[in-house]
Amino acid sequence: MNPYLKFVNDTAHLINIAKNFPLGGLAPLPRRELPADAPTALFFAPHPDDETIVGAAALRVARETNMRLIDVAVTQGSKKDRQAERLRELQAACDYLGYGLQTIPPNGLERVTAKTRRNEPQVWAGMVQAIVEILQKHQPRVIMFPHERDWNGTHIGTHHLVVDALRKMPASFEPYVVETEFWGAMDDPNLMIEVSAQDLADLIAATTFHVGEVKRNPYHLLLPAWMMDNVRRGAELVGEQGGAAPDFRFAVLYRLGKWSRGSVVPTHERGKQLPVDVNIGTLFP
């Protein structure tokens, strides 16, 4: 008998069990007290829920460094009748993880796409200015946003929006840049961050606060499988082709660089694999 049949069936059975777990409603996790002048890290979320789905690096920054993690809600989704509800869900998710939340009144930005950038330059310029003002306000040490080919139109638009805003900042502004992936995998990630079981469980729980979205598509239950597949990909793309995989169970891939003179300059010539026992703050000296 094939011994892997039980492995496959047990995996599917666990997912079915988890479908009955509660959505949201959990008490906020203990949060660290930081001084008022603590440096900030900004996570630019194209949609409410991106901060939990691809936010493993953000969570490690919040837990392992002296930086204050602030989620920037670039949009509140495209369905106007859901925007207020999605904002409430987002606030609850951020409260659970201990993140700050920066919104863009009144209901987030609209039509954040490459098409708007190309065809409506005046509208785009106003959105870029909104991001510039957020960068000026927080003066982040680290910023996180999607890479330029992350498939979803708003993810790609958010990439260009943040980069265009960075180009309007003074030359002295040189934050670290962490580019994320979800819908479209990067060809050239240079960072694989291991995710502990506890961090992954907390990210899944935080994702369930986005009740309307996970009822539509329970993608929170597939985060472990996605992060396991990232170990497979990262072993070759971030590590060495044909090399041995690290002893990670869960990981997320990123592209790490530093903004300097109008572009992102990679900080590692070769890939970096960051295990859970190495503080993520070492990436941002």
Please say whether the beta carbons of 71 and 45 come within 8 A.
Answer: yes
* pLDDT at residue number 270: 75
Q: What is the pLDDT of residue 192?
A: 97
Provide the pLDDT for residue 77.
Answer: 87
Q: Is 130 exposed, middle or buried (0-12, 13-18, 19+ CB in 10 A)?
A: middle
CA pair distance 164, 158, nearest whole angstrom = 10
| Residue 41, pLDDT score | 98
- What is the domain partition of the chain in residue ranges? 37-283
Arch. (CATH architecture) of 37-283: 3-Layer(aba) Sandwich (3.40)
Q: Which residues contact 119 (CB under 8 A, 6 or more apart)?
A: none
CB contact at 8 A, 168 and 244? no
* pLDDT value of position 245: 86
| C-alpha to C-alpha distance for 90 and 126, rounded to whole angstroms | 24
Q: How far is CA 276 from the centre of its chain?
A: 18
Identify the pLDDT of residue 268: 79
Residue by residue, pLDDT tens for the chain (285 residues) are: 899 999 999 999 999 999 999 999 999 999 888 998 999 999 999 999 999 999 999 999 999 999 999 999 999 988 888 999 999 999 999 999 999 999 999 999 999 999 999 999 999 999 999 999 999 999 999 999 999 999 999 999 999 999 999 999 999 999 999 999 999 999 999 999 999 999 999 999 999 999 999 999 999 999 999 999 999 999 999 998 888 889 999 999 999 999 998 999 988 777 899 999 999 999 999
- Residue closest to 53 by CA, chosen among 223, 234, 228: 223
**Is 244 buried (19+), middle (13-18) or exposed (0-12) by CB count in 10 A?**
exposed
pTM for the full model?
Answer: 0.95
**Given this model, what pLDDT does residue 184 score?**
97
Tokens of 68: 């204050």
Beta strands in 154-243 (DSSP E): 176-180, 191-194
